[in-house]
Structure 1
Amino acid sequence: MAKTIFITGASRGFGKLWAQAFLERGDKVIATARNLDSLKDLARQYPDTLLPLQLDVTDRAAVFATVSKAADHFGQIDVLINNAGYGLFGAVEEASEKEARAQLEVNVFGLLWATQAVLPLMRRQGSGHIIQVSSILGITTVPTMGLYNATKFAIEGLSETLATEVGHFGIHVTLVEPNAYSTDFIGGSAARSTPIPSYEPIHKAASESFAQEDIWGDPKATPTAILKLVDAPHPPLRLFLGKKALPWAQEAYKNRLATWEEWNDVAVAAHG
């Protein structure tokens, strides 16, 4: 049965690939982006099932108005995919106030506004699926991406809580957690803070890590997983994308558990 899917950040990368996959199989798609030029090809090919809408997700009123327009156009929204976001590269000390606030506005508040906007509709429908594009960096971290890491950790906590609040309405929540992929993430869509010379060794090490070809997944391999996720009658709360994510998460949690256990006597004594 065809679904109606609302995707933010659909102009390129995962968003556009997934929008195209949905359209190819007959779903209806509301594709939002700040610039709609890159969606013209899909609009020409799927004039009846694609609704491209310009949207800046940091504008809460615009997000609510766009969700309302989409619902009026297609009659319902079955799936929300919060994909809009970008990476800020730089050490924590290097981030300016403007850069830090902008990162949070797009990656966290933009996702929150879209989630809040679609929830009343999904509650009335008695069904829905909210897919939050998080990251393996919402579970563990890498240097020089502290602000981005922070936004993804925030999304994890928000969405895990949301799942406990809306499940009885028939609404599912899934955190999609990709490892590194060869999208435009480190290219033109990224922002970079002004470097501080003291952090040069950290930046160099990070650049060498990013240069490893084997860490990068192929974005074109992801649509099949997203289609399976959307079609699942009981979708998971979390889904990794890529083969590097699970081993990385296992290592991170092994280290955390070891530290918590090592300091457990101190923790228990602090209970009173």
Structure 2
Amino acid sequence: MTASATGAGRVWFVTGASRGLGRAFTEAALAAGDRVVAAARTVTPLEEPAAEYGERLFALPLDVTDRSAVQAAVDAAVRHFGRLDVVVNNAGFLAMGMIEEFTEAQARAQMETNFFGALWVSQAVAPHLRAQRSGRILQIASVAGPGGAPLTGMYGASKAALEGMSEALAAELAPFGVKLTIVHPGGFWTGLYTAGLAMTEPMAAYAELRAETEKGFSEGSVDSMPEVAAEAVMKLVDSEDPPVSVLLGSMVYDLAFDLSRKRMAVWEKWEEVSRAAEQPVPAPEGYGA
């Protein structure tokens, strides 16, 4: 995608823009000469880039779990810059704990931000992108979506829901010239592990598994600086033929392929049972009445 005819550059709408990956995406876009609507719960951390880039950065306080606030923010962004070209659904946090440990409030909070927040933004920007018959949407997912593990099950559920919704959305918006990419980042040094981390109350029954899992996370973690992810995102946005799904990082790339191969091996082993579960017959009399 090239810069607009006015020479003012593309217009980005980035959620969770005040820190971590969102901050890196925002600064990369600004450095490329684009304009950015940087949405975040707290915009104070954006004062420094605002001073540097002036009117090309529009900082917007936003809680993505508030659907009406999301709609108002998107409308304000379009009024401010006249259009939207790149939308990055990045806002999210990590809730860690065994599935049994989650309270209802904790489980709902994880889904409200990571899944519903991205859904509300996607719904709000879709009419604008359809009308101009162009635009990009980047959904920041995770390898935890397709590959669940102890302690990250609820986080993975939120990202798996995001992925499933986004694959359908990509097909629905494609006829209007809008392209969507689901981005699966590996490990990056962001606030996800600190300010963006919530923990359940540990249950004694899972103490051994928790210790083993946490040890595996600490020993197997491979993390990069957020700027590396931003470089990849800029390549995706500049591509005329971006993928619907992409993996960022060697660790996540190898893990995704390993998980896929293991699943295919299990499916193949149970092929006989799978095929036996299909015996087509006409609809029973009165079906659906």
TM-score (norm 2): 0.92
Q: Does 1:113 align with 2:83?
A: no
Does the Cα contact within 8 Å between 1:80 and 1:129 map onto a contact in 2? Answer: yes
Instruction: Determine helix, strand or coil for the equivalent of 1:52.
Output: strand
How many residue pairs are counted as aligned between the two chains? 272
Distance 2:15 2:112 in 1: 14
Does 1:177 pair with 2:184? yes
User: Counterpart amino acid of 1:235?
Assistant: P
Q: TM-score normalised to the size of structure 1?
A: 0.98
The equivalent of 2:239 in structure 1 is 232
Cα displacement (A) at 1:87 = 0.5
User: What does 1:116-127 correspond to in 2, within 5 Å?
Assistant: 116-127=123-134
- Distance in 1, matches of 2:221 and 2:141, equals 21
Q: Which amino acid aligns with 1:43?
A: A
Give the corresponding residue for 2:212.
205
SS at match of 1:140: coil
The answer for unaligned runs of 5 or more in structure 2 is 4-8, 280-289
Q: Tell me whether 1:141 sits opposite 2:133 in the alignment.
A: no
In structure 2, distance between residues paired with 1:47 and 1:182:
27
Report if aligned partners of 1:144, 1:202 keep a CA contact under 8 Å in 2.
no
Shift of 1:214: 5.2
Per-residue CA distance 1:46-102 (angstroms, 9 max, x = gap): 111000000000000000000000000000000100000000000000010000000
Indicate the SS of the match to 2:28.
helix
Shift of 1:216: 1.8
2:225 aligned to 209, 218, 240, which one? 218
Q: Does 215-224 or 147-156 show the bigger shift?
A: 215-224
In the alignment, the residues of structure 2 paired with residue 213 and residue 60 of structure 1 have an alpha-carbon distance, to the nearest angstrom, of 38
Distance 2:98 2:221 in 1: 24
- Residue 213 of structure 1 and its aligned partner are, at CA, apart by 6.3
CA distance in 2, matches of 1:214, 1:187: 15
| Matched AA of 1:41 | E
Please, which runs of 5 or more residues in structure 1 have no aligned partner? none
Per the alignment, residue 80 of structure 1 pairs with 87
1:89 pairs with one of 90, 96, 100:
96
Pairing partner for 2:138 from 131, 138, 154: 131
Higher CA-based Rg: 2
1:222, CA displacement in angstroms? Answer: 1.7
CA contact (8 A) 1:178 1:241 kept: yes
Cα distance in 2 between the residues matched to 1:37 and 1:209: 36
Write the distance in 2 (CA, Å) between the matches of 1:184 and 1:217.
13
1:133-175 deviations in Å (ceiling 9; x for gaps): 0011112122111100001111111111111111000000100
1:256 paired to 2:266: no
Partner letter of residue 86 of structure 1?
A: F
Distance in 1 separating the partners of 2:25 and 2:72: 23
| Aligned-residue CA RMSD (Å) | 1.0
Identify which of 8, 18, 28 aligns with 1:11: 18
- Structure 2 residue 62 is the aligned partner of structure 1 residue 47: no
Task: Give the secondary structure class of the aligned counterpart of 2:250.
Answer: coil
- Structure 1 position 217, deviation (Å): 2.5
What secondary structure sits across from 2:33 in the alignment?
Answer: coil
